[in-house]
Amino acid sequence: MSPDIHDIITNRLALVSKVKDVMISSLNLELEPDELAEDSQLFGFGLGLDSIDALTLIVGIEDAFGVHLPEDMPHVLRSVNTMADFLMEKGVQHAH
Amino acid sequence: MLIDRVQSAAPLPAGAEEDYRAIRTAAGITDVSAMGKFHLRGAAMEALDRLVAGNLNRLMENSIRWTAILDEDGRVVADVQVYNRFDSYLVTCAPAQRAAVAELLAALGPDDEVEDATDTLAAIAVEGPLALDIPHAIVGMDGSGLGLLKFVDVDVFGRQVLLSRIGFSGEYGYVFFLDPADAPQLVERIVEVCPAARVCGPEIQDRLRLEVRAYTPASHFLRGETALQAGLHWMIDFRKDAFQGRDAVMAEKAAGLVRRLLGFTLDGSAVPAPGTPVTDGADAVGYVAAAAWSPALERTIGLVYLDEAYACVGVPLGVEGGALRTVSTPFLTTQSTRAAAR
């Protein structure tokens, strides 16, 4: 594995881990981090979250990472991975 | 040879392009009556809860749980949708899994507790951005405001019909379960209330589902991978004390996964066949599980099993026919998803 790929994976996994922790704690999910697949859909199929959960999650993410997450960005709140994509686009590092 | 394993972006079959466009931009009507349909009553209901990986004790009345039946190695035998009718369950599954599910369910109880209703109950699905208004147009207030994975009994043509809010394309979706004799009349009625709706065939379903990473056995499993490797954690209740395959699931979780299924996009228009090796330089690090050309995204998308060390979004890798990059899924944010967020 090249150093570049190693760095990509290391940084991404650290951010994903932090997103999972924020999600589990802010929504009081009865899940351990390894019981939450990174691509599981958050609403409907998948975790079955609702609109109140969405607002709670937005507040949790904003507080944890110091970003503003507009409510009109439905592609962000699809999975742990799509939230991590958004945070990376905003230049967020896992250790905010 | 390269040509054996890497295909060009084949055009959709005749009619399927129009079907695809209808479901992504208007509404598509599909006869899904071939899905397996089973009524469970009495003690067979409790026996089903001990079989499936999801928790049916927490399933509210008039709600649907999509879960899996695992084998003792933690592999998916079949995925099922369980409709809780309080004093009975309706269990549905994909047509290809009907025989396997019928055999498993038959072992749960006598004939008066387990009834195969596949041939006596029709199922008409309607999916698309315009599908949201169709139930109300047909059955009035009883059909409006139905939440995702909920269902209700409604009156259609003077007969009881089960109307469920469930779909697999990422668009608004409903399925009507009704007497087979009434199905043609219902299709006519849907087109009457929604003239943009189109009667669709089944050919396009796999592509629609892949775009939103909806589960299908064909796209998620190739070489005996487990439910956890396929990312089907959401079908499993890890707090549940007993279900078939639980020991294997918990053992794999404790040991850590050896491979994991991720989404990818591909530069160029090639569509790699399932099983095509994925490489990091000279090293094979995984294989393609499924791939297709996405008309909406205008690129090749797919799912790839990667060794755990590489199982991460944002990794550039090689595959015959092009360079791929692992990406987050679902690939597509549908019109219905955007509308629901407004």
Number of residues that make up chain A:
96
pLDDT average, residue stretch A6-13? 94
- Specify if B235 maps to a domain: yes
Identify from B239, B261, B328, B335 which residue to disrupt to test chain A contact, counting A C-beta atoms within 10 A and taking the largest count. Answer: B328
Q: Which among B127, B220, B203, B134 has a CA at the least distance from the CA of B168?
A: B127
CATH architecture of A3-29+41-89: Orthogonal Bundle (1.10)
Half-sphere exposure of B36 (CA within 13 A, CB side): 25
Domain residue extents for chain A: 3-29+41-89
Q: Is A39 in contact with B214 (Cβ distance < 8 A)?
A: no
- Specify if B248 maps to a domain: yes
Q: Are B294 and B333 in contact (CB under 8 A)?
A: no
> Would you state the pLDDT for residue B15?
85
Q: Which helix (DSSP H) or strand (DSSP E) does residue A85 occupy?
A: helix A80-89
**Close Cβ partners of B188 (under 8 Å, ≥ 6 residues apart):** none
> Would you state the pLDDT for residue A95?
52
Please give the Cα distance from A56 to A27 (Å, whole number): 7
Please give the Cα distance from A47 to A40 (Å, whole number): 7
Q: Is B280 in contact with A41 (Cβ distance < 8 A)?
A: no
pLDDT profile of chain B (342 residues), mean per 10: 39 81 96 97 97 95 96 96 97 96 96 96 96 93 83 94 94 96 96 96 90 91 95 96 97 97 90 94 95 90 97 95 91 83 62
> Would you state the pLDDT for residue A81?
96
Cβ-Cβ contacts under 8 Å between A and B: the total is 87
* Residues of A in Cβ contact (< 8 Å) with B148: 43-44
Q: What is the DSSP letter of A44?
A: S
* Residues of A in Cβ contact (< 8 Å) with B209: none
- Specify if B126 maps to a domain: no
Identify from A8, A78, A80, A88 which residue to disrupt to test chain B contact, counting B C-beta atoms within 10 A and taking the largest count. Answer: A78
This complex has an ipTM of 0.93
What is the span of the domain harbouring residue B217?
A: 207-327
- Specify if B288 maps to a domain: yes
- Specify if B293 maps to a domain: yes
Residue with tokens 């996964």: B257
> Would you state the pLDDT for residue B267?
81
* Residues of A in Cβ contact (< 8 Å) with B328: 38-39, 78-79, 81-82, 84-85
Backbone angles phi, psi at B206, to 5 degrees: -60, -40
Q: What confidence tier does A46 reach under pLDDT thresholds 50, 70, 90?
A: confident
* SS3 state of residue A96: coil
* Residues of B in Cβ contact (< 8 Å) with A55: none
pLDDT average, residue stretch A29-37? 94
> Would you state the pLDDT for residue B11?
61
* SS3 state of residue A7: helix
- Specify if B261 maps to a domain: yes
- The structural domain count of chain B equals 1
CATH number at B313 reads: 2.40.30.110
